[in-house]
């Protein structure tokens, strides 16, 4: 899907946008390479982008005489501005005349243009695209001009009041995994735009790059592993840099995957002894859950196995090359290992802790302080998207949006298997686990306390820094997330923490230190 942009052909020369709707990029002459190769796909994309609004189509269909069309368009778009009117005349000229452009986009000749281009290229693809795009721009500009006039008398025309936003152009870093679903899908499915934002999601190579870009101020906000805001704020493994966890991106959605060569050997945690195991980052739920699991089998994660960071996109290749024996990774890479027949799914992390957090939406304290309204708007968009993605009926649409090259860049069956929970396990079985991954944005403070307890247990956080209540209160913005959920008509929990039930024990957030002691006493690790 082509990216929708709030900077448009309808942008005036001074850079001010006529309205807040969907538009084609202003530098349309520079984005041809990103367009689909087939004209039918282009039209489909333009419709999905919202360029062909109903009112725009109605306008196009209502105009029958070319002179009337041109006059009306120029009147609507120009509105007495000679510079803007001349710009529109130039567009019409570029298209070879408004009549041809309209015919290509809406008229009876469109089918001929489609078939000729697809079958034997008799009609220039470049000319076809040019005409269609110019027409879309002109018609949408006209409808936008009308929208702007309507908006002056009816504030409800816009889904969100955006006049108080400190900035609208945002860059949000993400790692291409299904955990990032609400952050990523909010771009192509319009959740950012609904809140008045022109947010671009920026694919990052690994978590260290996300952390470093956050500290350097190269991003506005970030997709982070749930422990990362705690670790970075506390200065664990990096300079101290205050970051807030604004909302949870996903619950569950990970797995322990083992190389096929070990399929007859691995039955439980004790069987991992001597393995090389990949996790995405030291300060990750993956590392903490893996250690939790291995310890129950008497495995010392720091002595009996080798655990090291592997960027998720590299994980399947490393397993194929026998550089790792197993991994606890975010999806879709567990399923991709099955798809490539190099690994099997040993255990879903939901079976270790059903409802556990994984990834989160985060922003720095400094950025939030400088952009409080924008922060609430982008967080609201993501909370809204999470609720949408959590509905089983929407999972197929979400999967289709995520597979694009600039997002997850994965085969559709792989992403569908993760999101729907209908998947092959690599051992000949077909599983049906609808809650393999979920999208619940509420950041329970008990999540923070469990994470902190495990950072202490594995000496990733000094005991004297483990001020559990302060960390949970300061870093997890539970109250803000609840407010946004209520604004969106959702019903957040009334409590901020709860007892968490894991596979081998129960975590009481009222006494994390006692929980750590009990774990060590029980397993001697």
277/304 Cα distance (integer angstroms): 11
Q: What does CATH list as the number for 169-251+357-443+452-496?
A: 3.40.190.10
Query: Longest C-alpha distance within the chain, in Å?
Result: 86
77/152 Cα distance (integer angstroms): 16
pLDDT digit string (tens) for 436-485?
999 999 999 999 999 999 999 999 999 999 999 999 999 999 999 999 99
Report the pLDDT value the prediction gives residue 365, as an integer from 0 to 100. 97
Question: What is the rounded (10 degree) CA torsion for 6, 8, 14, 18?
Answer: -70
Name the burial class of residue 524, with classes exposed (0-12), middle (13-18) and buried (19+) by CB atoms within 10 angstroms of its CB: exposed
Report the pLDDT value the prediction gives residue 70, as an integer from 0 to 100. 60
Report the pLDDT value the prediction gives residue 275, as an integer from 0 to 100. 98
Q: Which residues of the chain have pLDDT under 70?
A: 1-85, 87-163
Query: What's the Cα-to-Cα distance from 473 to each of 12, 230, 444, rounded to whole Å?
Result: 46, 11, 10
461/242 Cα distance (integer angstroms): 16
* Cβ atoms of residues 268 and 276 within 8 Å: no
Strand-pair partners of 199? 170
CATH 3.40.190.10 residue ranges for the chain: 169-251+357-443+452-496, 254-354
Q: From 220, 210, 128, 146, select the one nearest 174 (Cα to Cα).
A: 210
Q: What letter would DSSP give residue 2?
A: P
**Token pair in block for residue 191:** 């959740």
What crossing angle do the helices spanning 39-49 and 125-151 adopt, rounded to 10°? 10
254-354, CATH topology level: D-Maltodextrin-Binding Protein; domain 2 (3.40.190)
pTM, entire model: 0.71
pLDDT digit string (tens) for 82-141?
666 676 666 666 555 655 555 545 444 444 444 444 344 434 445 545 555 555 555 555
- Tally Cβ neighbours within 10 Å of residue 82: 8
Report the pLDDT value the prediction gives residue 297, as an integer from 0 to 100. 97
- CB crowding 280-316: b at 16 or more within 10 Å, else e: bbbbbbbbbbbbbbbbbeebebeebbebebbbbbbbb
Name the burial class of residue 219, with classes exposed (0-12), middle (13-18) and buried (19+) by CB atoms within 10 angstroms of its CB: buried
């Amino acid at each position: 899907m082509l990216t929708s942009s709030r900077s448009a052909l309808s942008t005036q020369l001074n850079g001010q946008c006529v309205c807040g709707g969907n538009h084609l990029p202003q530098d349309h002459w520079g984005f041809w390479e990103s367009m689909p190769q087939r004209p039918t796909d282009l039209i489909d994309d333009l419709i999905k982008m919202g360029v062909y609004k109903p009112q725009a189509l109605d306008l196009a269909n209502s105009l029958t005489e070319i002179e009337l069309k041109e006059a009306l368009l120029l009147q609507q778009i120009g509105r007495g501005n000679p510079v803007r009117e001349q710009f529109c005349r130039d567009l019409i000229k570029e298209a070879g005349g408004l009549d041809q452009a309209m015919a290509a986009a809406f008229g009876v000749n469109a089918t001929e243009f489609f078939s000729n281009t697809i079958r034997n290229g008799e009609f220039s693809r470049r000319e076809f695209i040019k005409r269609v795009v110019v027409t879309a721009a002109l018609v949408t500009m006209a409808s936008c001009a009308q929208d702007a006039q309507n908006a002056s008398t009816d504030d409800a025309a816009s889904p969100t009041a955006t006049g108080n936003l400190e900035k609208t152009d945002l860059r949000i870093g993400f790692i291409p995994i299904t955990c990032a679903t609400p952050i990523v899908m909010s771009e192509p499915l319009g959740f950012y735009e609904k809140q008045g934002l022109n947010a671009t999601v920026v694919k990052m190579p690994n978590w260290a790059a996300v952390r470093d870009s956050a500290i350097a101020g190269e991003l506005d906000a970030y997709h982070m592993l749930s422990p990362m805001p705690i670790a970075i704020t506390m200065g664990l493994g990096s300079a101290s840099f205050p970051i807030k966890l604004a909302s949870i991106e996903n619950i569950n959605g990970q797995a322990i995957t083992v190389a096929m060569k070990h399929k007859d050997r691995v039955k439980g945690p004790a069987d991992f002894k001597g393995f090389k195991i990949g996790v995405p980052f030291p300060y990750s739920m993956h590392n903490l859950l893996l250690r939790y699991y291995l310890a129950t089998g008497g495995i010392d994660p720091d002595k009996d196995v080798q655990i090291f960071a592997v960027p998720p996109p590299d994980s399947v290749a490393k397993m194929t090359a026998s550089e790792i024996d197993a991994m606890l990774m975010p999806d879709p890479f567990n399923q991709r290992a099955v798809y490539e027949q190099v690994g099997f799914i040993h255990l879903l992390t939901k079976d270790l802790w059903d409802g556990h957090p994984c990834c989160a939406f985060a922003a720095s304290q400094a950025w939030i302080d400088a952009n409080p309204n924008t922060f609430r708007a982008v967080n609201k968009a993501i909370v809204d998207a999470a609720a949408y993605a959590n509905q089983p009926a929407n999972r197929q649409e979400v999967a289709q949006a995520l597979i694009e090259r600039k997002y997850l860049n994965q085969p559709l069956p792989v992403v569908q298997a993760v999101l729907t929970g209908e998947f092959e396990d690599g051992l000949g079985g077909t599983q049906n686990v609808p809650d393999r991954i979920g999208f619940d944005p509420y950041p329970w403070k008990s999540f923070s306390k469990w994470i902190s307890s495990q950072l202490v247990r594995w000496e990733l956080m000094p005991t004297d820094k483990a001020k559990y209540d302060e960390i949970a209160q300061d870093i997890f913005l539970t109250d803000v997330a609840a407010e946004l959920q209520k604004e969106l008509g959702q019903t957040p929990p009334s409590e901020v923490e709860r007892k968490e039930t894991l596979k081998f024990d129960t975590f009481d957030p009222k006494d994390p230190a006692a929980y750590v002691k009990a774990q060590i006493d029980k397993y001697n690790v």
